[in-house]
Amino acid sequence: QQKVQQSPESLSVPEGGMASFNCTSSDRNFQYFWWYRQHSGEGPKALMSIFSDGDKKEGRFTAHLNKASLHVSLHIRDSQPSDSALYFCAASDTGNYKYVFGAGTRLKVIA
Amino acid sequence: EAGVTQSPRYAVLQEGQAVSFWCDPISGHDTLYWYQQPRDQGPQLLVYFRDEAVIDNSQLPSDRFSAVRPKGTNSTLKIQSAKQGDTATYLCASSPGGAGTGQLYFGEGSKLTVL
């Protein structure tokens, strides 16, 4: 069973709009979260991490973590066509360096 | 600073052939990961190392898959007798450690097609 569930599978937003992604861990051992982005033909690149309850903002990107429910979200404001990519949530098990990825959300930003 | 380097970028095989993928991690990164990413899916962990030691290889799909990191630097992932279901991109990542709180740095991947 997939330990990390992501939704939606795909998303289209207009340029300048807000894109929102959701992720939940089903294993309480995996409670450190990361967001990665992958453009076509490239490897995933880390966007940001969140380990504590609440919000974390980095530029146009804001992540929110609820540790009680192991739910994390990512919001991109003022979306740009260059943001079109696959977005992955990853959860890590701090006990043994293990990182598990979700199935991803494909974002398309329409100019 | 050089990133994670993988080779070859592409491989096309007939079923039953073998292939090896090579990974050079970022210098000083003691943890190295191999992931399998089928088309339009998330990366699935195959195996990971801390220095030269295998920490967990329980996710390797079968005994046709093997991975080594003999000196704690470069690593090789080998697939024996490839099958069509092995078609995927194989990603290598390294991390400076940090017990699950360190960022993973990925290479561009090796795309395998098995005909």
Q: Is pLDDT at B63 greater than 70 in this prediction?
A: yes
What percent of chain A shows pLDDT beyond 90? 86
E strand intervals along B14-115: 19-24, 31-37, 44-50, 53-56, 65-68, 75-79, 88-95, 105-106, 110-114
Of B43, B105, B109, Cβ closest to residue A101: B43
Calculate mean pLDDT across residues B73-96: 96
With a CB cutoff of 8 Å and minimum separation 6, the contacts of A39 are: A85, A86
Instruction: Please give the Cα distance from B99 to B92 (Å, whole number).
Output: 18
The confidence band for B98, taking pLDDT boundaries of 50, 70 and 90, is: low
- pLDDT one-digit tens code per residue, A49-103: 999 999 999 999 999 999 999 999 999 999 999 999 999 999 988 777 889 999 9
What percent of chain B shows pLDDT beyond 70? 97
The chain-wide mean pLDDT, for chain B, equals 93
Contact B55/B48 with Cβ under 8 angstroms?
Answer: yes
Tell me phi and psi for residue A82, to 5 degrees: -70, -10
pLDDT value at position A37? 97
Of B91, B100, B106, Cβ closest to residue A93: B100
Looking at chain A, which residue has its C-alpha nearest residue B57?
A98
Count A/B contacts: CB-CB distance under 8 Å. 73
With a CB cutoff of 8 Å and minimum separation 6, the contacts of A45 are: A36, A37, A38, B106
A44 contacts on B by Cβ (under 8 Å): 43, 91, 104, 106
What percent of chain B shows pLDDT beyond 90? 82
The confidence band for B72, taking pLDDT boundaries of 50, 70 and 90, is: confident
Q: Is pLDDT at B1 greater than 80 in this prediction?
A: no
Cβ of B4 and A43 within 8 Å?
yes
Q: Give the Cα-Cα-Cα angle A101, A104, A109 (nearest 5 degrees).
A: 145
B4 touches chain A (CB under 8 A): yes
pLDDT value at position A59? 96
pLDDT value at position B99? 63
Give the lowest-confidence range in A38-42, B4-8, B93-97.
Answer: B93-97
How many distinct helices (H) and strands (E) make up chain A? 0, 11
The chain-wide mean pLDDT, for chain A, equals 94
B93 contacts on A by Cβ (under 8 Å): 43
- Determine the 3-state secondary structure of B62 from DSSP: coil
Cβ of B108 and A41 within 8 Å?
yes
Mutate which of B103, B105, B108, B110 to disrupt the A interface (most A C-beta within 10 Å)?
B103
Q: Please identify among residues 74-113 of chain B the ones whose CB lies closer than 8 Å to any CB of chain A.
A: 91, 93, 95, 97, 99-101, 103-109
Cβ of B42 and A41 within 8 Å?
no
